[in-house]
A and B are shown apart, each in its own frame.
Chain A
Amino acid sequence: MMERPACPWRRPSIWVRLSRNHLAVLGSTIVAAIVLVALLAPWLPLVDPNLTAPADRLQPPLSPTALLGTDQLGRDVLSRLIWGTRVSLAVGLSATLIAAVAGSGIGLVAAYVGGPVDQALMRGIDMLMAFPYLLLALAIVAALGPSLMNALLAISVVNIPFFARAVRGATLSLVRREFIDAARLAGYSRFRILTSELLPNVMPVIVITMSTTVGWMILETAGLSFLGLGAQPPQADLGSMLGDGRRIVVTAPHVAAVPGVLILVLVIGINLVGDGLRDILDPRLKAGALSRPVARTATMPAQRRPGALPSTGPSEHGSSPPLLAMHGLDTQFEIGREVYRAASGVDLTLGRGDSLGVVGESGSGKSVTALSVLGLVPTPPGRITGGSIRFDGTIDLLDVPLSGLQDLRGGRIAYIFQDPLTTLNPLMPVGEQVAETVQRHQGLSNRGAWAQAVEWLDRVGLRAPAEKARAFPHELSGGQRQRVVIAMALANRPDVLIADEPTTALDVTTQARILDLVNDLRRQSGAALLFITHDLGVIATLCTRVLVMYAGQVVESGPVAAVFATPRHPYTRGLLACVPVLGQPERALDAIPGLPPPVNRLPRGCAFADRCPSVVAACRQAPVPLRPVGPARTARCLRAEDGLHG
């Protein structure tokens, strides 16, 4: 999960965003130009499109009397083209509108009413979809007889299913949303819920479907005319012009080529606009969200990165360097022109056998810090711009080449992630997923790796491990899945185990068992643990040292007992005070007022100043350094010592 703070922002309007998409602008220009010319046809100095002149037939383009030449009956191609475009556009747009209204209506009603109505409507739609697209249109035209109106009708009918399906799908996901329940509790009638709650929310889907289908519909009506089943002579649309031109294509290619190219250009323009609209309106594609994270977080090269280690070599720690030493880590997300400083200047050391807890609320940068260690922060938009992460005293993980990093990943440093359902590949048996990592790092045979995988599944407490190894993730419970993930992480006996909220998605009783398991196995294997969580209670049971993060910075660190007993940073104090504790119901919950600052607008001074009860003017004037405040303790607060009395 990428942590991003909830910051109030206003979306620019659709038109503004569309105008930023160059391709969409190009598309709209093309479409607008064509539509404009078509609309102006009656006022343009054009020859009658149906005026035949056998003497002037098959004039080539650029001839003095006809700019685009003439066809086999001597009719002016340009004039026919413009008038034909009018017809094609009108038919295509009308078909789109008819299909959109009918299909969306069916989809909305089916999804909202549900039950047998839904079944009946959607089975009907399935029947229409069971026909090859064009064939049904042909059948309808066959029965009604060839004519432009019948072609329009046929094309509309065959497109209804696309709208019905898309709108039904979108509505179904909305119907389960809680705001629909809220509307029912507000006493809204079904009709009002349909029109005021559902319809505005499925509008984007309707618009997207319209913009993607209008191109086809123009193509398909042109196609029917091309086959002689749409526009009937003497009326011409682009398709029938093309159909006429086909027979003489060898002698006069322009007669077919001109309308063909125009259809192509028009549909390209429409599709460009449609793509632009879809990028903006489709929630999946919003804000460029569909960008693929690359193999490793983009990292500024050592020469340019502040805080980078000079080169690999013995560290200043002398004989026994810490296993993991992170200094001044800066990781940021660059989205548009905004820079979100997800982690800024994070220091962290982890010795052999240590267990360090990192605690913070969402947006505090705790996960980003953990993911930065092995370059797993998604890029785009993530980027590591500063600091160093020294592993085992020698190498800076930020400068290791990718293949070296991949050797460490899952080998000497392993991760456990939050949601065990999404972190496992749904199509692969879980045993194979464990065996895969064993094979990668220990170079065993398939058989040997599988045997090891089963052994580890047994060790993490899965009953009947040989059988469970062949199960797919969806066949296991949440707790079992998380055990698989733990087996996967421990299978190569890592030196460092990084667990990112490994129990958040689980029920309390399961959570307790998983925590025990992690703790036991870690002790046995002697791995160092970096445990990321928002739950102070979990830290207290599992870790010896704790790091408290706020707005991308470490605000306090030290031994768990000491930090929890005498917190030195007002945020830590506040955090401890606002957790309800079982067995102490009378304790007043002292809420911290306000919200954390958005990490793209961090203040110059202390990030906590606005919520702090003991803020002074100096807090806001300059960045507050993290400084020692006791044995093995640090805090980022000017008044850390005052807190002792407060």
Chain B
Amino acid sequence: MLSYVAKRLLLAVPVLFGISVIVFLIISLIPGDPAMAILGAYATPENVARINRDLGLDQPLPVQFGTWLAGVLQGDLGRSYSLNRPVVDEVADRFGPTLILALASLALCSLFGVVAGVAAAVRQYGWTDRVLTLLVLIGISTPSFFLGIMLILWFSVGLGWFPTGGMYALFGGGGVLDLLHHLALPAVTLAVVATGVIARLTRLNMLEVLRQDYVRTARAKGLRESAVIGRHAFRNALVNVIPVIGIQAGFVLGGAVYVETVFQWPGIGRMLVTAISMRDILLVQGGVLVVAASFVSINLVTDVVQVALDPRLRTVRR
């Protein structure tokens, strides 16, 4: 098991490298003069000279990449010209809120998705199944940016139960309770689609597992239904659901962009939107790189959990 974790960590290195290549190549997609594009309105001759020196933009592409990667490895993501501060500092400030939001909704969608999926499968064709299937359908079809607006309208503006945005109250805020109060609506908004997807796939996997021969064997042994479903079916279904949760982490991290924008959450998503409209390419690069890396880490965790649950994967991969 430990050696598997080590190998899996090692395998993440080429992935991270690939990510950095793609993130770097974004600059080369820019039509026209990259220095001008990166600087946009801040394109003073002084800045242009500086960026050409920093990134080696007059060099061939592989050399540019080397320069850039060396910088990244030393924690230098360049300088945000729109904010006039190093990208690393800005990203570091923004990363925490995004992580809190993403993990909270990942927890919500895993919990509710799996519970709903199992409930629907166990009561297939019953009214529980029908209602859940309908809810799931609406859930996966909901644009989270629209849902967020509507939730603000009802729960914040209308009922006044939750704040309309932000992470902490402006005056006298702070503390975990205040955070949770602010977190509730955005986390739910962000979790809705993923909950639907997880519920749907959990149901499908449960149904598939319940048809397997070993479930019949469990019944032929005289086990009660609770044991058949809990001990035999659920674990086997979960093995296939875990990677789905990993994939959903990607959607949650991406969807955070909308939710942060709607709820004024001070995370990387909102930073990215601003940076794009400012054409602050280096800030975009830094943000994307960090979020992608955290996605890779989440997938690492789900992979390890899956292998821990499934002995077949341990031996097959050797």
Which residues of A line the B interface, CB within 8 A?
123, 126-146, 215, 219, 222-223, 226-229, 239, 242-243, 245-246, 249-250, 253, 256-257, 260, 263-264, 267-268, 270-272, 275, 284, 290-293, 295, 374, 376, 378, 403, 406-411, 414-415, 417, 419, 422-428, 436-437, 440-441, 472, 474-475, 485, 488
Whether A131 lies near B19 (C-beta < 8 A) is yes
Within the assembled complex, what's the spacing in Å between the Cα atoms of A145 and B40?
12
Whether B146 lies near A290 (C-beta < 8 A) is no
Interface flags for B21-60 (1: CB within 8 Å of A; 0: not) read 1110011011100000000000000000000000000000
Could you say which residues of chain A place their CB within 8 Å of the CB of B213? 417, 419, 422-423
What are 9 residue pairs bridging A and B, where the CB atoms are less than 8 Å apart in the complex?
A: A130-B19, A132-B295, A140-B26, A264-B142, A270-B141, A290-B207, A291-B125, A295-B228, A422-B214
Within the assembled complex, what's the spacing in Å between the Cα atoms of A146 and B278?
11
Which residues between 267 and 318 of chain B lie within 8 Å of chain A, taking CB atoms?
A: 272-273, 275-277, 279, 281, 284-285, 288, 291-292, 295-296, 299, 309-312, 315-316
User: CB of B169 within 8 A of chain A?
Assistant: no
Whether A135 lies near B29 (C-beta < 8 A) is no
Q: A249-B149, A409-B222, A425-B214 are in contact. Are A135 and B254 (CB under 8 A)?
A: yes
Could you say which residues of chain A place their CB within 8 Å of the CB of B288? 131, 135-136, 138-139
Nearest first, the 8 closest Cβ-Cβ pairs linking A and B are A134-B254, A260-B146, A410-B221, A409-B222, A132-B253, A127-B18, A410-B222, A267-B141
Nearest to B216 among chain A residues (CB) is A376
From B125, B153, B285, give the contact of A253 (CB < 8 A): B153
Could you say which residues of chain A place their CB within 8 Å of the CB of B30? 143-144
Could you say which residues of chain B place their CB within 8 Å of the CB of A284? 208
From A132, A143, A260, A263, give the contact of B29 (CB < 8 A): A143
Whether A146 lies near B222 (C-beta < 8 A) is no
Which residues between 219 and 265 of chain B lie within 8 Å of chain A, taking CB atoms?
A: 219-225, 228, 231-232, 235-236, 239, 249-255, 257-258, 261-262
Number of chain B residues whose Cβ lies closer than 8 Å to a Cβ of chain A: 87
Q: A131-B22, A271-B140 are in contact. Are A139 and B284 (CB under 8 A)?
A: yes
Within the assembled complex, what's the spacing in Å between the Cα atoms of A317 and B266?
83
From B214, B250, B276, give the contact of A146 (CB < 8 A): B276
Could you say which residues of chain A place their CB within 8 Å of the CB of B180? none
Whether A132 lies near B221 (C-beta < 8 A) is no
From A130, A256, A427, give the contact of B15 (CB < 8 A): A130
User: CB of B206 within 8 A of chain A?
Assistant: yes
From B137, B222, B262, B292, give the contact of A406 (CB < 8 A): B222
A to B contact number (C-beta, < 8 Å): 247
User: CB of B138 within 8 A of chain A?
Assistant: yes
Could you say which residues of chain B place their CB within 8 Å of the CB of A246? 145, 149, 262
Q: A130-B18, A292-B121, A409-B221 are in contact. Are A427 and B235 (CB under 8 A)?
A: yes
The winner among A407, A415, A423, A441 for most chain B CB atoms within 10 A is A423
Q: A216 → chain B, closest Cβ, in Å?
A: 9
Could you say which residues of chain B place their CB within 8 Å of the CB of A239? 145
Whether A271 lies near B232 (C-beta < 8 A) is no
From A138, A228, A292, A417, give the contact of B284 (CB < 8 A): A138
Q: A127-B15, A264-B141, A423-B214 are in contact. Are A141 and B149 (CB under 8 A)?
A: no
User: CB of B143 within 8 A of chain A?
Assistant: yes
Whether B216 lies near A293 (C-beta < 8 A) is yes
Q: B139 → chain A, closest Cβ, in Å?
A: 10
Could you say which residues of chain A place their CB within 8 Å of the CB of B141? 215, 219, 264, 267-268, 270-271
Could you say which residues of chain B place their CB within 8 Å of the CB of A376? 216, 219-220
Whether A130 lies near B276 (C-beta < 8 A) is no
Q: A304 → chain B, closest Cβ, in Å?
A: 22
Within the assembled complex, what's the spacing in Å between the Cα atoms of A631 and B97?
86
Nearest to A425 among chain B residues (CB) is B214
Whether A123 lies near B214 (C-beta < 8 A) is no
Q: B163 → chain A, closest Cβ, in Å?
A: 14
Could you say which residues of chain B place their CB within 8 Å of the CB of A291? 124-125, 207, 211
Whether A126 lies near B18 (C-beta < 8 A) is yes
Within the assembled complex, what's the spacing in Å between the Cα atoms of A140 and B281?
10
Whether A260 lies near B140 (C-beta < 8 A) is no
From B19, B222, B281, B316, give the contact of A440 (CB < 8 A): B222
Which residues of B line the A interface, CB within 8 A?
14-15, 18-19, 21-23, 26-27, 29-31, 121-122, 124-125, 137-138, 140-143, 145-146, 149-150, 152-153, 157, 204, 206-208, 210-225, 228, 231-232, 235-236, 239, 249-255, 257-258, 261-262, 272-273, 275-277, 279, 281, 284-285, 288, 291-292, 295-296, 299, 309-312, 315-316
Could you say which residues of chain B place their CB within 8 Å of the CB of A472? 311-312
Whether B157 lies near A250 (C-beta < 8 A) is yes
Whether A290 lies near B250 (C-beta < 8 A) is no
The winner among A226, A411, A428 for most chain B CB atoms within 10 A is A226
Q: B210 → chain A, closest Cβ, in Å?
A: 4
Q: A132-B292, A229-B276, A250-B157 are in contact. Are A422 and B212 (CB under 8 A)?
A: yes
Whether B296 lies near A260 (C-beta < 8 A) is no
Within the assembled complex, what's the spacing in Å between the Cα atoms of A246 and B251?
23
Could you say which residues of chain A place their CB within 8 Å of the CB of B204? 290
Within the assembled complex, what's the spacing in Å between the Cα atoms of A407 and B21?
62
Q: A131-B22, A409-B221, A422-B214 are in contact. Are A242 and B253 (CB under 8 A)?
A: no
Within the assembled complex, what's the spacing in Å between the Cα atoms of A267 and B273?
25
Could you say which residues of chain B place their CB within 8 Å of the CB of A137? 254
Whether B222 lies near A425 (C-beta < 8 A) is no
Whether A272 lies near B273 (C-beta < 8 A) is no
From A134, A136, A142, A242, give the contact of B276 (CB < 8 A): A142
Whether B143 lies near A263 (C-beta < 8 A) is yes
From A143, A260, A293, A378, give the contact of B26 (CB < 8 A): A143
Nearest to B218 among chain A residues (CB) is A425
Nearest to B288 among chain A residues (CB) is A139
Could you say which residues of chain B place their CB within 8 Å of the CB of A271? 137, 140-141
Q: A126-B15, A263-B143, A271-B141 are in contact. Are A227 and B220 (CB under 8 A)?
A: no
The winner among B30, B221, B272 for most chain A CB atoms within 10 A is B221
Known: A130-B299, A422-B214. 7 other contacts (CB 8 A): A130-B295, A146-B276, A292-B207, A378-B211, A411-B222, A426-B236, A474-B315
Within the assembled complex, what's the spacing in Å between the Cα atoms of A263 and B273?
22
Whether B291 lies near A135 (C-beta < 8 A) is yes
Could you say which residues of chain A place their CB within 8 Å of the CB of B224? 403, 406
Q: A287 → chain B, closest Cβ, in Å?
A: 13
Q: A131-B250, A475-B315 are in contact. Are A427 and B310 (CB under 8 A)?
A: yes
Whether B152 lies near A132 (C-beta < 8 A) is no
From B26, B225, B232, give the contact of A295 (CB < 8 A): B225
Whether A227 lies near B217 (C-beta < 8 A) is no
Whether A425 lies near B217 (C-beta < 8 A) is yes
Q: A427-B311, A475-B315 are in contact. Are A142 and B275 (CB under 8 A)?
A: yes
Within the assembled complex, what's the spacing in Å between the Cα atoms of A422 and B273?
51
